[in-house]
Amino acid sequence: MNLDKFLGCIFGVTIGDRLGAPFEGMNSCDIRARFGEIRDLRSTNVPTDDTQLTLATMDAFIESGGIFSMPIIAEKHKQAYRNEWHGWGRSTRRSCKRLCDKSGQWDWTNSGEPGGAGNGVIMKIAPLGLWGSVTKEDVSEFTKMCIEYARMTHLATPAIVAGVVHAVAIAILAAREDRNIHVNTFLFFLKDLAEILESKLP
């Protein structure tokens, strides 16, 4: 395990979140027209769901003793939602609201937002990729876990595929001992994985 890679990955999420938080919900054209090119950190009161749910997912792995447990991951998502949901993406917010519903009709297996196609899965899945780099799960089994994780908040195929590919990429890169990687080969592998997933998902 390379601790520098782990820290770099998590810091990358939180720094990216802090860069983007003041502009949450704005499209790139509006941001450029209003602020120009963003290259510095702006003042923001709280991080968005990017950081909050990345940390919630990490907390779930800590609480489970390093075991992938969707019930614990879902519980940590609920706790994060109860603490602060301002700046959260629509699909993630609606899904976590369902998880918190006390009627008993919702759990992580059916809470996902129909048509939820945003980047909500990509922004919080890094801990799953880091976990995969340590456990060295079989790719097909790891992919199934990532799909379960993604479907808790997003049911649209693009969001699921993007999240899974992101986690697999992190798992592979974080597990490597050396810095040498053939970039084109790696990208073609990820592209093939995405196409296979797209063909299998609804």
With 0-12 / 13-18 / 19 or more C-beta atoms within 10 angstroms meaning exposed / middle / buried, residue 114 is exposed
pLDDT at 2: 80
pLDDT at 62: 96
Return the bridge partners of 183, or none.
none
More confident: 24 or 166: 166
Residue written as token pair 């974080």: 174
Query: Model confidence over 97-119: pLDDT tens digits?
Result: 999 998 989 999 999 999 888 88
Distance from CA of residue 199 to its chain's centroid?
Answer: 22
Return the bridge partners of 113, or none.
154
CA dihedral 12, 17, 19, 22 (to 10 degrees): 180
Region class of 66: left (phi > 0), else alpha (psi between -120 and 50), else beta: left
Cβ-contact 22, 43 below 8 angstroms: yes
With 0-12 / 13-18 / 19 or more C-beta atoms within 10 angstroms meaning exposed / middle / buried, residue 94 is middle
Q: Above 70 in pLDDT, residue 1? A: no
State how far the Cα of 61 lies from the Cα of 72, in Å rounded to an integer: 8
Query: Model confidence over 122-154: pLDDT tens digits?
Result: 999 999 999 999 998 888 899 999 999 999 999
The closest of 122, 126, 179, 162 to 7, measured between CA atoms, is: 126
Determine the average pLDDT of the residues in 78-92: 87
State how far the Cα of 193 lies from the Cα of 35, in Å rounded to an integer: 37
Residue written as token pair 């447990």: 69
